Amino acid sequence: MKLETVEQRHKFIDDMVKKAFAFEESLIHDPEHGDDWAGAMSTVENLVTIEEFIRTEQIFLDTFGAMEEIRTHDDSGKEIALNIVNDSLLEFIDTILLRRVEFAHDRLDDWDFVTEGGVKFKKSFCRKLNTLIKTYQDIYDL
């Protein structure tokens, strides 16, 4: 899956939320494997927050776009204003969004799943979160 645009990344995380939620639901009536259920639930929570942060990234980018559209003869002035926003976007990605993705990954990676489904879920979702981490590091040069 391509992840170059924020829309693609948003769709990617949205699919993850849906799948993780479905997995969590499938365990809900399995009291014997409460730990797997708790691991899935904590992942869902993290994914939901990441989804909201990607929407924040989208708001940043849309704002940047709106500022770019402003007509002016003062091109260097526009560049100063855009640079300020760009620096803030980088700070947001680095200190908030990426950190939460890394947190979600590490937490899932540390979780001991016992069911076969849980082990598969962990493997697949750790890989997806890793893909997302690498994507952000590449795109924003972090």
Partner 1 sequence: MELDTTEQRQRSVGFLIKEAFAFQETMDTEDKDEDNDWCGASVVLDDLAAVEEMMNAEIIFRDTLAKISSPRLDHLAEKEDYASAFEDGFDNFISDILLSRLYHAADILNDWGFRTERGQNFQENFSDKLAELIAVYENFDELLTEAEDTFEIDTPDARLKVVMT
User: Interface residues with partner 1 (CB under 8 A)?
Assistant: 45, 48-49, 52-53, 55-56, 59-60, 62-63, 66-67, 70-74, 77-78, 80-81, 84-85, 88, 91-92, 95-96, 100
Q: Least distance from C-beta 135 to partner 1, angstroms?
A: 20
CB 88: neighbour CB atoms within 10 A? 13
Identify which of residues 62 and 123 has a Cβ nearer to partner 1 in the complex.
62
Q: Least distance from C-beta 82 to partner 1, angstroms?
A: 8
Q: Cite the beta strand spans of the chain per DSSP E.
A: none
Identify which of residues 40 and 127 has a Cβ nearer to partner 1 in the complex.
40
CA 133 to chain centroid: 8
Identify which of residues 19 and 100 has a Cβ nearer to partner 1 in the complex.
100
Helix (H, G, I), strand (E, B) or coil at 38: helix
* Cβ atoms 104, 43 nearer than 8 A: yes
Q: Least distance from C-beta 21 to partner 1, angstroms?
A: 14
CB 96: neighbour CB atoms within 10 A? 13
Identify which of residues 91 and 123 has a Cβ nearer to partner 1 in the complex.
91
> What would the two tokens of residue 125 be?
């979702």
Q: Least distance from C-beta 64 to partner 1, angstroms?
A: 8
Whole-number Cα distances in Å, 1 to 27, 56, 58, 66, 130: 28, 22, 19, 28, 14
